[in-house]
Amino acid sequence: MIVCVCNRITESEVRKAARAGCSTPEAAYGCMDCEVQCGCCLDYAQEIIDKECARGSRLRLVTAEAA
Ligand code: FES
């Protein structure tokens, strides 16, 4: 699914950037050599990043508890 129409950035690309450490849409788009243009996608992109970061934190917690 396309998150950013201006840059044709998909949800999976935003998730991948979040897993690589990007905590904002601006940082995530920058990792893809893109820039924010109209800004319409920022709230949704941030939501995806926040969920991915929370998911990563939960996975690390479960992994640490299992060790
Ligand atoms: S839809 Fe993402 S910058 Fe326009």
Is residue 59 within 8 Å of 24, Cβ to Cβ?
no
CATH number at residue 46: 1.10.10
Give just the sign of the alpha carbon dihedral 19, 24, 25, 29: negative
pLDDT given at position 18: 96
In the prediction, which pLDDT does 62 show? 72
pLDDT at residue 60, as a whole number: 74
How many Å lie between the centroid of ligand 1 and the Cα of residue 35? Answer: 9
What confidence tens digit (pLDDT) does each residue in 12-51 have? Answer: 999 999 999 999 999 999 999 999 999 999 999 999 999 9
**What pLDDT shows up at residue 57?**
72
Ligand 1-lining residues (CB < 6 angstroms)? 4-7, 36-41
Full domain range(s) for residue 49: 2-66
Domains held by the chain: number = 1
**11 alpha carbon – ligand 1 mean position (Å):** 13
Residue among 7, 8, 11, 43 to mutate when testing ligand 1 (max atoms within 8 A of CB): 7
The reported pTM is 0.86
